[in-house]
């Protein structure tokens, strides 16, 4: 073959290679910028289970980057890197996709330990009769949480029944608690399912609006296979609500598990609504914790919430946000972005020193522009029907008010577990 003919054949291949090389370089630059932005924002710690890449094994194939539905991975310096650690929710799709097994999933990091309760293969803890299912046990994901809830109830159903008490108290109506409740109906157990929030769904309820959840088919008791693989938050919540009404699953909303003590044959449990006796307790409470309350007069009013789900619902209203961390600052700023919303941010501390620098700068700008009325060294003393009373350096002030968003931190599930005597292991980057 003469040289010109060879060039004729090779030119398209060379052009194609050049095209892919340029595309890859562009993608790598974008990944490096994303990583730099995460570092600058201090968002370098993944929430729980996450991949660690062995740089000696990684060949930079980018299959994990493509496999990650959360776009948490990128290629930096030719190696797979967690470029958006805060986005990682521990699917494990990256680990499964890696052709050279360079990825391992671990809990926690050297700097930030993750508390994982010890459970046996039946999801029972070291406290006999106390079970844990779902994300609280360390493994996130809708499918895994549902599956664990179902399996824990199967074990409980195989145990002897006790007269006069519930067979199981299920705590939490996220994916794990819903599946557990259905399994309890199927096994004809005497169950009670309580949920501290006024609605079901757990973490899913708090996803951003229209977020698409990726999941694998889930086997639900009574209902059969939930065949979604990609589903919007709203459609998933609607699906669960249909199941609840179709199966008669009883969920006691706005009832919080407080504590329990061992009694003969089970536990006496104290909730926000009273006490009950149960032979078994299944904790399906996730890892988000329980929001800390203010403990002031009027806090029980329906206008007081502990999480911001959608700032648009506060448009045109008088909103008080309480707290000094990132969540409080972000909630205040999100509400202030809505047209006609009058936002006051009250914090008992001297400065927003716990918030990220970028949030502090945005808050300063919003306060200067008169979009957020910032009140430091200020406590809430009462919440009225259409006003709130604040006590600050200038004395008491009564402000018109339609909604209160409390972001005063939370009681972590680990504290609850330790108080129940459940063994908890802190993992610093191990499987």
Ligand X SMILES: Cc1cc2nc3c(=O)[nH]c(=O)nc-3n(C[C@H](O)[C@H](O)[C@H](O)COP(=O)(O)OP(=O)(O)OC[C@H]3O[C@@H](n4cnc5c(N)ncnc54)[C@H](O)[C@@H]3O)c2cc1C
Pick between residue 83 and residue 320 the one whose CB is nearest to ligand SF4: 83
CA–CA distance, 42 with 395 (Å, rounded to integer): 37
Residue 296 near residue 381, CB atoms below 8 Å: yes
Site string for ligand X, 74-103 (x = CB under 6 A): ---------------x--------------
CA–CA distance, 320 with 273 (Å, rounded to integer): 27
Find the binder of ligand SF4 among 91, 280, 318, 403 (CB under 6 A).
91
Q: What is the DSSP string of 127-186?
A: STTEEE-GGGGT--SHHHHHHHHHHHHHHHHTSPP-TTSEEEEEE--SHHHHHHHHHHHH
Sorted by sequence, the CB contacts under 8 Å of residue 264 that are 6+ apart come out as none
Pick between residue 142 and residue 335 the one whose CB is nearest to ligand X: 142
Residue span binding ligand SF4 (CB under 6 A) among the ranges 13-21, 85-93, 244-252, 386-394: 85-93
Q: What is the DSSP string of 299-321?
A: TTSTTEESS-S-GGGGTTSEEEE
Residues 395-414 that bind ligand X (CB under 6 A): none
Pick between residue 46 and residue 286 the one whose CB is nearest to ligand X: 286
The answer to the question of residue 74 lying near ligand SF4 (CB under 6 A) is no
CA–CA distance, 403 with 380 (Å, rounded to integer): 13
φ, ψ for residue 342, nearest 5 deg: -100, 115
Residues 42-61 that bind ligand SF4 (CB under 6 A): 50-51
* Residue 74 site contact among ligand X, ligand SF4, none (CB < 5 to 8 Å, cut-off depends on kind): none
The answer to the question of residue 218 lying near ligand SF4 (CB under 6 A) is no
Element (H, E) at 72: none
* Residue 171 site contact among ligand SF4, ligand X, none (CB < 5 to 8 Å, cut-off depends on kind): ligand X
The helix/strand/coil state of 228 is: coil
Find the binder of ligand X among 46, 51, 85, 174 (CB under 6 A).
174
* Residue 268 site contact among ligand X, ligand SF4, none (CB < 5 to 8 Å, cut-off depends on kind): none
CA–CA distance, 181 with 166 (Å, rounded to integer): 13
Query: Which residues contribute to the site for ligand SF4 (CB under 6 A)?
Result: 50-51, 67-68, 70, 72-73, 88-94
Query: Which residues contribute to the site for ligand X (CB under 6 A)?
Result: 89, 134-136, 140-143, 145, 171-177, 194-197, 202-204, 207, 213-215, 256-257, 284-286, 288, 290
């Amino acid at each position: 073959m003469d040289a010109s003919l060879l060039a004729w054949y090779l030119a398209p291949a060379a052009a194609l290679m050049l095209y892919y090389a340029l595309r890859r370089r562009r993608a790598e630059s974008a990944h490096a910028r994303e990583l730099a932005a995460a570092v600058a924002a201090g968002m370098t710690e993944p929430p729980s289970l996450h991949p660690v890449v062995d740089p000696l094994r990684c060949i930079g194939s980018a299959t994990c980057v493509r496999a990650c539905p959360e776009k948490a991975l990128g290629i930096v310096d030719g190696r797979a890197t967690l470029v958006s650690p805060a986005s990682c929710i521990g699917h494990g799709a990256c680990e499964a996709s890696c052709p050279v097994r360079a990825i391992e999933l671990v809990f926690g990091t050297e700097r930030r330990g993750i508390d994982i309760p010890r459970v046996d293969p039946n999801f029972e803890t070291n406290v006999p009769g106390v079970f844990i299912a779902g994300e609280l046990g360390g493994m996130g994901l809708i499918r895994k949480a549902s599956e664990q809830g179902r399996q824990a109830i199967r074990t409980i159903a195989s145990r002897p029944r006790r007269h006069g008490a519930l067979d199981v108290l299920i705590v939490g109506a996220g994916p794990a608690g819903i599946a557990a409740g259905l399994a309890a109906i199927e096994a004809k157990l005497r169950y009670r399912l309580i949920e501290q929030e006024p609605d079901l769904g757990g973490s899913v309820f708090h996803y951003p609006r229209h977020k698409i959840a990726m999941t694998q088919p889930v086997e639900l008791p009574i209902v059969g296979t939930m065949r979604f693989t990609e589903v919007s938050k709203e459609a998933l919540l609607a699906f669960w609500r249909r199941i609840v009404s179709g199966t008669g699953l009883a969920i006691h909303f706005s009832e919080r598990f407080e504590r329990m003590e061992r009694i003969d044959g089970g536990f006496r449990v104290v909730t926000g609504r009273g006490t009950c006796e149960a032979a078994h307790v299944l904790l399906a409470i996730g890892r988000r914790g329980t929001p800390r309350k203010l403990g002031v007069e009027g806090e029980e009013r329906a206008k007081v919430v502990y999480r911001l789900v959608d700032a648009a619902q506060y448009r045109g209203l008088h909103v008080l946000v309480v707290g000094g961390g990132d969540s409080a600052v972000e909630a205040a700023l999100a509400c202030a972005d809505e047209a006609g919303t009058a936002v006051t941010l009250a914090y008992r501390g001297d400065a927003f020193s716990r918030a990220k620098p970028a949030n502090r700068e945005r808050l300063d700008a919003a306060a200067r522009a008169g979009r957020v009325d910032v009140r430091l060294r200020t406590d809430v003393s009462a919440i009225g029907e259409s006003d709130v009373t604040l006590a600050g350096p200038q004395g008491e002030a009564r402000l018109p008010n339609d909604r209160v968003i409390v972001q005063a931190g939370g009681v972590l599930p680990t504290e609850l577990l330790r108080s129940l005597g459940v063994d908890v292991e802190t993992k610093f980057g191990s499987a």
